[in-house]
Each structure stands twice: as structure tokens, then as C-alpha cells.
């Protein structure tokens, strides 16, 4: 890439129209109905799954957002894009598209799913909700699943539609307290991780799932067209502020999802990686009949090439090569600074499965220097997933610094 371009970042900025007609971007990119809540904070947006998602807000720094989600709670309007798959052959289509067995997903439950091309390369991932016997939503990450559904549905009695559903997330240790107050459902006692329910909030029926992209205790709210979204969104924010809630942008998830080993579509996996190489092989039911990519995955190398990395003194540059003695051995796919571990953290993809946790590498960092980094397992802590399930309620009140690379 041209060195001049490396000095810039490209974002979408809202401007007052002053009576002018909408530009092409405004007509084709989806806008979350609660975007107006972000406008006072000089927002900058990126495009995610065909929708705008806030990349930057001026109300808090990335570090402040991090501690909010670890200690209190945040409200985040996401670019996740739900599509509806329904009809007598809905399950048949989904079984064809996803390597994981969809027949095991019961009504009222969610399931993490991803789709592959015929060569085993990955398209995208997301959360599948089974709404009824023959009705599903798939809230997808970045990627074009709608065209893929259409291409694979020939000859099947199935409807693929966009239900115009918008997703917001309430995440953090106080999220259960807020939803217990706002809804007429007993949030604290009868909801398992990856359950979804239709609940009543301010006299309206909304769908909430116990899920999120932070690996903290949290929930995703699915606003439907029949909802008074502004009324509900303002209520959530007003009551949430009383217990510390703030609106947040992408940085709030970046560090926590890296620490938790949650992969970002298009970054940590692409059409050039298969699920085994990025550590997702446990979500493949390889004995399931005739799903797309099965033959390629059966023949593929099953070794994991994706790990976490901790970096001394700096933040790795995403997309940069990792080196040992000057030789390229891998690439940084995600990176940021961890206020909790007080070091750079990232997700990397290695060229050789022999290079795993404990490997020391040279890492180019955002301040222009090269520092040492050490590969580690993912997640970086909370190995049993007890935080997101509400089993670990210890709230960190200070950093827990990484001890650094041990000198031999």
C-alpha cells in the first residue's frame, strides 16, 4: 500500500443535510434507528455487514470504555445483520450451509454458526436463533450471506427475507440488574447462556438473547419494526445511566473479544482460512450429511495456526508480519492495548503449527518500534467461560499486569 495512505484512516462522518437530497451512501447503507443517541459525541462510522457501526465516540476513551464493560455496563448499537430463513425446508437449507448440526438447536435457543465455501474457506459467522419449528434468524457478521442463501436454496421450499431487525447490546456485570428492572421477566434466575426469550419492556414485546461480543455478562436486544424503538432505546439509556451505563463504539469490544479469543470475520478468518486453522474445529459436525465444504474439510489439515499474542511495551500493527531472526513466520490479524493486562494483545495466524504458545517473536508496533511478543492460548484468561455465564462475579478493580517474557 502507498505510504501516504498508511497515514490516513477512512471513516463515515454524519453531516447536516441542509435540505440536500440523500447521497448514494445514505440510500444504500443501513442506519440503526438509535443512531441519534450517538450524534452528540462526534461519531465516526465504519461499514459492517451493510450497516453503519460506530467506530469512534468522543464521550469516552478506549480505556474508559474497557473498564466500563468490565466493571459496570455499556450500551452499543451494532451492525449485526439478521436475516430470516423460514418455510418447510428452512432446516434443510441451514443444514446444507452450516457445518454444525442445526437440528440440535431447540426453539428458544441460540447457536454459534459459520458458513464455508466448497473449498473449506470461511464466509462469515454469527448467531442463529430458532424462533419456531420452521423459522430462524441468523444475525451475521461481515459478509454476504443473503446471496449465498439464495444461491443454495434452489429447489427448496424456503423463504429468505430481511426482517428489518436491529441489534443493540447491553454488556457488563450490571446488565442483569438493569434488565431485571426494565422487563417483566426474571432475568436473573431462568436464563441460560445462549437462551433467547420474548419479554415485555414498557408494554412492548421484544426479543432478547443472552449473548454478545464481549465475553462479559451480557444481552443482545433484537428490535423489530413493530417496536417503538426510540421509546425503548431512550428508556434503556436513561435507566442505565443511573447505574453507570455509557454509549460505546467498536473499541469497547476489540480488547475484550481479543482477550476472550472471539474472532472477527474478515480479519481473524477469511476465505483463505478453514475453521480448523483458526481454532474453530470443535464447531464442525464432520459426520453430518452433505454440508457445503465437507469434502474439503475432511481432507484438510486439522492443526490450529491461530493464537493469542502479548507484546511488551507496544501495540502490534494489524496486518504486519511476525518474524523470528528476520524470517516471516506469521501475521497479526487483530490487535489493541489491554488496560487490564497492561500490554499489547492480539490474535495472530502462524505459518507453521510448530510455533505455538510460548514462542517469542519480533513484532512491529504502532509507535514505530519493534518489540518482543509471546504467543499464548486463547482465551487469555477465564478459560472455562465463567464470566459470560455469570458464574464468576469477581469484578476487577485494578489492572493485573502481564509479567512479561521470562528471561532464560
- Both 200 and 337 in a single domain? no
pLDDT of 242 over the 90 cut: yes
Confidence of residue 188 (pLDDT cuts 50, 70, 90): confident
Higher pLDDT, 232 or 252: 232
Would you state the cell numbers that stand for residue 204, as one nine-digit string? 412492548
Which residues in 335-363 are b (16+ Cβ under 10 Å) and which e? bbbbbbbebbbbbbbbeeeebeeebebbb
Higher per-residue pLDDT: 291 or 8: 291
Residues 107 and 52 in one domain: yes
Round to whole Å and give the CA distance between 98 and 115: 5
Same domain, 275 and 314: no
Nearest C-alpha neighbor of 146 from the set 168, 124, 122: 124
Asked whether residue 263 falls in the same domain as residue 337, the answer is no
Residues 331 and 207 in one domain: no
Q: What is the pLDDT of residues 31-81, one digit of tens each?
A: 899 999 999 999 999 988 889 999 999 999 999 999 999 999 999 999 999
Cα 71–Cα 73–Cα 77 angle in degrees, nearest 5 = 145
Do residues 79 and 118 both lie within one domain?
Answer: yes
Number of structural domains found in the chain: 2
> Smallest Cα–Cα separation from 279: which of 252, 298, 299, 306?
306
What pLDDT shows up at residue 298? 97
User: What percent of the chain is modeled with pLDDT above 70?
Assistant: 96
The three-point CA angle 357-359-362 to 5° equals 130
User: 205 falls in which pLDDT band (50, 70, 90)?
Assistant: very high
Residue 77 and residue 211 in one domain:
yes
Lowest mean pLDDT among 176-190, 319-333, 361-375, 390-404: 176-190
Select from 317, 37, 320 the least CA-distant residue to 168: 37
| Statement: residue 89 has pLDDT above 90 | yes
Task: Using the predicted structure, report yes or no on whether residue 153 has a pLDDT greater than 90.
Answer: yes
Q: CATH number for the domain including 163?
A: 3.30.1360.120
My answer on whether 333 and 200 are in the same domain is no
The pLDDT tens digits of the residues spanning 304-325 come to: 999 999 999 999 999 999 999 9
Average pLDDT over residues 146-171: 97
Query: Which of 274, 303, 332 is the C-terminal boundary of a domain?
Result: 303
Q: Looking at residue 406, what is its pLDDT?
A: 83
pTM of the predicted model as reported, rounded to 2 decimal places: 0.95
- The residue among 303, 319, 345 that closes a domain is 303
Q: What is the mean pLDDT of residues 320-334?
A: 97
pLDDT for residue 22: 59
Query: So what's the pLDDT on residue 62?
Result: 93
Q: Are residues 166 and 156 part of one domain?
A: yes
pLDDT score for 23? 59
**Which of residues 287, 303, 319 is at a domain's end?**
303
291 and 353, same structural domain? no
Give the Cα separation of 187 and 37 in Å (integer): 26
The pLDDT, as a whole number, for residue 1 is 60
pLDDT score recorded for residue 26: 60
> 306-311 and 370-376: which strand pairing?
antiparallel
Q: What pLDDT does residue 16 have?
A: 80
Query: How sure is the predictor about 230, in pLDDT bands with cuts at 50, 70 and 90?
Result: very high
pLDDT for residue 399: 97
User: What pLDDT was estimated at residue 21?
Assistant: 63
Residue 375 has pLDDT above 70, yes or no: yes
pLDDT for 93-116, tens place per residue?
999 999 999 999 999 999 999 999
Check whether residue 65 and residue 2 sit in a common domain: yes
Any idea what the CATH number is for the domain that residue 345 is in?
2.40.30.110
What is the per-residue pLDDT across 9-34, written as a single tens digit (0 to 9) for each?
788 888 887 766 655 566 678 889 99
pLDDT at residue number 20: 64
Whole-angstrom distance, CA of residue 102 vs CA of residue 105? 5
Supply the range of the domain harboring residue 406. Answer: 305-391+398-408
Supply the pLDDT for residue 251.
Answer: 85
Query: How many other CB atoms sit within 10 Å of the CB of residue 227?
Result: 21
Query: Looking at residue 27, what is its pLDDT?
Result: 62
274 plus 352 within the same structural domain = no
Amino acid at each position: 500500500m502507498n505510504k501516504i495512505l498508511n497515514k490516513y484512516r477512512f471513516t463515515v462522518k454524519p453531516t447536516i443535510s441542509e435540505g440536500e437530497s440523500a447521497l448514494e451512501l445514505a440510500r444504500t447503507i443501513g442506519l440503526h434507528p438509535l443512531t441519534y443517541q450517538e450524534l452528540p459525541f462526534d461519531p465516526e462510522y465504519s461499514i459492517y455487514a451493510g450497516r453503519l457501526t460506530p467506530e469512534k465516540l468522543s464521550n469516552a476513551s478506549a480505556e474508559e470504555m474497557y473498564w466500563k464493560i468490565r466493571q459496570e455496563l455499556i450500551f452499543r448499537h451494532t451492525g449485526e445483520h439478521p436475516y430470516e430463513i423460514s418455510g418447510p425446508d428452512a432446516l434443510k437449507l441451514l443444514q446444507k450451509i452450516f457445518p454444525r448440526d442445526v437440528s440440535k438447536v431447540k426453539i428458544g435457543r441460540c447457536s454459534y454458526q459459520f458458513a464455508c465455501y466448497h473449498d473449506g474457506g470461511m464466509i462469515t459467522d454469527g448467531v442463529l436463533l430458532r424462533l419456531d419449528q420452521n423459522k430462524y434468524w441468523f444475525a451475521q457478521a461481515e459478509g454476504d450471506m443473503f446471496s449465498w442463501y439464495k444461491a443454495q436454496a434452489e429447489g427448496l421450499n424456503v423463504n429468505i427475507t430481511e426482517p428489518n431487525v436491529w441489534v443493540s447490546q447491553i454488556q457488563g456485570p450490571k446488565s442483569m440488574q438493569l434488565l431485571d428492572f426494565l422487563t417483566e421477566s426474571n432475568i436473573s434466575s431462568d436464563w441460560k447462556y445462549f437462551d433467547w426469550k420474548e419479554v415485555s419492556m414498557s408494554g412492548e414485546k421484544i426479543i432478547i438473547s443472552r449473548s454478545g461480543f464481549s465475553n462479559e455478562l451480557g444481552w443482545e436486544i433484537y428490535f423489530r419494526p413493530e417496536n417503538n424503538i426510540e421509546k425503548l432505546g431512550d428508556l434503556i439509556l436513561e435507566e442505565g445511566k443511573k447505574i453507570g451505563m455509557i454509549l460505546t463504539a467498536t473499541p469497547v469490544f476489540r480488547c475484550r473479544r481479543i482477550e476472550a479469543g472471539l474472532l472477527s470475520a474478515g480479519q481473524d478468518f477469511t476465505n483463505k482460512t478453514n475453521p480448523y486453522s483458526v481454532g474453530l474445529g470443535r464447531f464442525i459436525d464432520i459426520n453430518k450429511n452433505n454440508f457445503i465444504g465437507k469434502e474439503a474439510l475432511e481432507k484438510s489439515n486439522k492443526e490450529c495456526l491461530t493464537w493469542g499474542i502479548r507484546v511488551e511495551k507496544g501495540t502490534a500493527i494489524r496486518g504486519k508480519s511476525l518474524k523470528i531472526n528476520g524470517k516471516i513466520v506469521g501475521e497479526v490479524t487483530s490487535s489493541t492495548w489491554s488496560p487490564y493486562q497492561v500490554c499489547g494483545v492480539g490474535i495472530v495466524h502462524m505459518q507453521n503449527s510448530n510455533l505455538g504458545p510460548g514462542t517469542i517473536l519480533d513484532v512491529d508496533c504502532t509507535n514505530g518500534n519493534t518489540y518482543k511478543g509471546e504467543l499464548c492460548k486463547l482465551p487469555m484468561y477465564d478459560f472455562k467461560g465463567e464470566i459470560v455465564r455469570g458464574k464468576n462475579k469477581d469484578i476487577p478493580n485494578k489492572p493485573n499486569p502481564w509479567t512479561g517474557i521470562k528471561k532464560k
